[in-house]
Structure 1
Amino acid sequence: MRLLFSFLFLLSLMTVKAQNSDDKYPKSLKDVLLEIQDRYHVTIKFSDKQVEGKTVDYAQWRFRADVDETLNNVLKPLDMKVNKEKEGVYKLKEYEYYRWQPEDGWAELARLASKYHDKGSWEQRKAEIKPCLLEALKLSPMPPRPNSKPIFTSIRQFDGYTVQNMALEVLPGVYINGSLYRPTKVKGKIPLILSPDGHWYQQRYREDCQIRCATLARMGAMAFSYDLFAWGESMLQFDYEDHRKSLSMAVQTLDAIRLLDYFLTRKDVDPERVGISGGSGAGSHTVLVTAIDDRIKLSAPVVAISSYFYGGCPCESGLPIHLCAGGTDNVELAAFAAPRPQLLVSDGGDWTAHTPLHDFPYLQNIYSYYGAKNKVENVHLPDEKHDFGVNKRKALYDFVARNFKMDIGAVDEKKVTIEKENAMKVFGDKGEKLPANAMKGYDNLENYFKSLENAK
């Protein structure tokens, strides 16, 4: 026992000896977090992968009397942080560049608003930002459009609407997949509503997604429900992990542009009644596409837009659009829609909780430059959470019906048939119908974009 004590004592001396300014007083992050737990009697949730290989310089010198200040001192140099789940319990997180404190976001929005005061100065601001958006997205110049036709499956008949799956080649061998909902009876030109899917379980096969698009079709519109990049059926070509890589943002934006290119050639689409509405990450997509493409005449981002949240997925913020023209944010980009009708649906359970206080009044002010303050609306649901639930869908139905002169009386979600996932796929249940030229793998996509850059 005495021998063991002597060994531990010598080991502690060696440890202390290694702690000096020449070596920057280093300690492993894991050991520092464990010491913080012991000293302040708190719990810090972390995985071995999060702390593996990470060292804190001047570790002991970063400790303060307050645990929150200590955690900030330790983690900030490593681009890490903690979320406080409750008193005494923290969870280790990577630095979230896209998530600001509300006060910081509001201050930034005020800074942006100080750059313009009327329609002329606002249009000048837009002219500075818009070309930069395409450049940041690697879409300037626009990649060549494949000379191919859409791929359709057979039409399925339901109560007041039909469904047909469709794939469109947006880059050589890269396909956007979705389901096209149309009214059973179509007379002349009808509205088109692009309906990108958000970051929710089961992608566009979800019940609430089918209900929304089918109901829009029963109201008299053509609704196209489509996958995000490396999401849903797109995972036949790319891995799920590829969705969280920066080029996902470029491909998703191009998807919407190519869809507009196609749909606006159809004789049954009214070019003056083209809308887009998505929730969560697809809400960010909705705002960006509307800012870039004037062919969109109505937009409805749902539980998405905030001056202090830039989008938590690289498909929303992975490319430097928010650095354009000295910096911008999603609310300023949403203002690009003015004076086109725009609906923001917000709730009390996510980063849209404060929309009525700062973000919506800002948008009303921009719309007032065009004498169209009433063209931007906000439906705020303070007791609801982050989803595309029934009340959010009802807000969308009402907004679209009023602005596109559609039949609100046709809204009856109980008349929608929920299909099984395999029925909604373009390329077969196991991808057996995927075209022979289909690109596979993120490396090939990256190489294609590099070839475009080299050709400039």
Structure 2
Amino acid sequence: MGVIVLLLGCSLTASAQTSDDQFKKPLKEVIDEIESRYAVKIRYPEELIKDKFVTYADWRFRPGDVEKTMTNILASQDITFAKEGDKKYKLQAFQYHLKTPDEGKQQLDYLATLYTDVTSWEKRKAELKTCMWEALKLSHLPAKPNSQPIITNKRTYDGYTVENVAIETLPGLYVTGSLYKPLNTKVLMPVILNPDGHFGDGRYRADAQYRCAMQARLGAIAFSYDLFAWGESALQFKSEDHRKSLAQTIQILNGMRSLDWLLTLKNADPKRVAISGGSGGGSQTMLLTALDDRITLSVPVVMLSAYHSGGCPCESGMGVHLCGSGTNNVEIAAMAAPRPQLAISDGKDWTQHVPDTEFPFLQRIYGFYGKTGVVKNVHLPQEGHDYGVNKRLALYDFLAKNFALDIRNVQDKSGSIDESKCTIEKYPEMYVFGEKGENLPATAIRKFEDLEKLVQ
């Protein structure tokens, strides 16, 4: 009789969950079961799991391995998880631009097998470069406008000048920025691009002004310019347009066409061209250097990572990281070789592993050219995600050494680098088109849809 009861019990369970209904369960119920089975706590926003179901739910469990179980279950829902502490996890929507640090290292290890010398590396680099141009649609853009830059409101400070500049990079599309120049402009001067990153207040913030003023006081022409749909660029577009994939193409184009103009300036030295930005500006620094051979020195700041490709579509939305059957920012940064490069990293963001993981990869590529001495890493383990003073000091030193600039121009009597002679301007002084955009040209594009028509 006991056998009959057992069989009936089995039959009842099977009728509740069979392959006919794909053993489907609500995701909320499955998460509750994970917490119960493995004695863990999982937090998540309710909207992330609302109305979601897991097929073959119970078949995805793995005894004794909560993380493998969570991977099996959540991957089907485009959800990932992060560990927050002992037996605590957080769920989030799938982040296409993120891997785990271990996955990033594994990809680097694989990529390293693809080339063993200059010849094989140059073949890989050419493949990546061709694909990136296509992915960004840079091969199909309208010709550069013939218009002259709009330049306003020249100010003179201690050792340098500042002017507001707008450059028409596509018909009706303007990139806005600040041009810093030394007072002595009778000698050949390096040109330095300073793309903005995703920091509050854009190029108007103090650390951006310090950085560019000091470059000018060192003896270089420095151009600090806005992200797409940020700062004055937001006069033409909505702020949400910044997070559209085409923003990546526009930002790279803006950098290239800004450099076109900068190299026409009197006494600009085409043999000394640098670029440096932090965060999203660091993403632009690496990619623009990979694509534009005119850049002879690069300093990506707080962005070199094997497992983080840039969380904004303006950094990764056009799929350049899918080129060559998969690449990452480290391989993209390596495309700068053998040109001098300084990677600045810290201990509190995704660049925390640079000294042990990403930098050795760069050194190996530079070693193919016999140039390991020109690639450097300054790692600041106690610092976080910014372009703070210690990061700027490393930049000034690297520029001075590689571009034969006189570091004494920015030192105090004790020999320390001194930023105190730089003037931090208020925002309105830095506007090209006026405080309310009243001077924006009548021919300017004012809708993202109009921009899309130019970039097919």
> Common fold, TM-score beyond 0.5?
yes
Q: Quick check: 2:160–2:183 contact (8 Å CA) kept in 1?
A: yes
Tell me which residue corresponds to 1:423: 429
Distance in structure 2 (CA, Å) of the matches to 1:18 and 1:420:
68
- Superposed, 1:355-370 pairs within 5 Å as 355-370=354-369
Compute the displacement of 1:89 (Å).
Answer: 3.8
Tell me the secondary structure at the aligned position of residue 153 of structure 1: strand
Task: Report the more deviating stretch, 298-307 or 418-427.
Answer: 418-427
* 1:159 lines up with 2:158 in the alignment: yes
From 422, 427, 434, the counterpart of 2:440: 434
Tell me which residue corresponds to 2:54: 56
Tell me the secondary structure at the aligned position of residue 139 of structure 2: coil
Task: Report the more deviating stretch, 181-190 or 264-273.
Answer: 181-190
Cα 1:107–1:74, aligned 2, differ >3 Å: closer, same or farther? closer
Tell me the secondary structure at the aligned position of residue 340 of structure 1: coil
Tell me the secondary structure at the aligned position of residue 301 of structure 1: strand
Amino acid at match of 2:21: D
Task: Report the more deviating stretch, 249-258 or 355-364.
Answer: 355-364
Q: Quick check: 2:141–2:454 contact (8 Å CA) kept in 1?
A: no
Tell me which residue corresponds to 2:415: none
Aligned length: 436
Task: Report the more deviating stretch, 83-92 or 325-334.
Answer: 83-92
Identity %: 56
Extract unaligned runs of 5+ from structure 2.
1-13, 411-417
Compute the displacement of 1:422 (Å).
Answer: 2.3
Tell me the secondary structure at the aligned position of residue 391 of structure 1: helix
Distance in structure 2 (CA, Å) of the matches to 1:33 and 1:203:
41
Q: What's the TM-score once normalised by structure 1's chain length?
A: 0.89
Cα 1:328–1:30, aligned 2, differ >3 Å: closer, same or farther? same
Tell me which residue corresponds to 1:414: 420
Q: Quick check: 2:197–2:277 contact (8 Å CA) kept in 1?
A: yes
Query: What per-residue deviation string (whole Å, max 9, x for no partner) do you get for residues 54-88 of structure 1?
Result: 33334455456654444333311011112222234
Query: What per-residue deviation string (whole Å, max 9, x for no partner) do you get for residues 170-229 of structure 1?
Result: 111111111111122322321111001111111111111111111111111111111111
Compute the displacement of 1:392 (Å).
Answer: 0.7
Task: Report the more deviating stretch, 197-206 or 234-243.
Answer: 234-243
Tell me which residue corresponds to 1:93: 92
Cα 1:91–1:438, aligned 2, differ >3 Å: closer, same or farther? farther
Tell me which residue corresponds to 1:13: none
Tell me which residue corresponds to 1:129: 128
Cα 1:32–1:294, aligned 2, differ >3 Å: closer, same or farther? same
Q: What's the TM-score once normalised by structure 2's chain length?
A: 0.89
Tell me which residue corresponds to 1:253: 252
Task: Report the more deviating stretch, 407-416 or 287-296.
Answer: 407-416
Compute the displacement of 1:51 (Å).
Answer: 3.2
Tell me which residue corresponds to 1:24: 22
Distance in structure 2 (CA, Å) of the matches to 1:369 and 1:70:
43
Q: Quick check: 2:140–2:455 contact (8 Å CA) kept in 1?
A: no
Query: What per-residue deviation string (whole Å, max 9, x for no partner) do you get for residues 243-297 of structure 1?
Result: 2221111111111111111111111311111100011121111011111111101
Tell me the secondary structure at the aligned position of residue 342 of structure 2: strand
* C-alpha RMSD of matched pairs (Å): 2.3
Amino acid at match of 2:286: V
Distance in structure 1 (CA, Å) of the matches to 2:66 and 2:141:
51
Tell me which residue corresponds to 1:8: none
Compute the displacement of 1:371 (Å).
Answer: 2.3
Tell me the secondary structure at the aligned position of residue 164 of structure 1: strand
Distance in structure 2 (CA, Å) of the matches to 1:60 and 1:125:
44
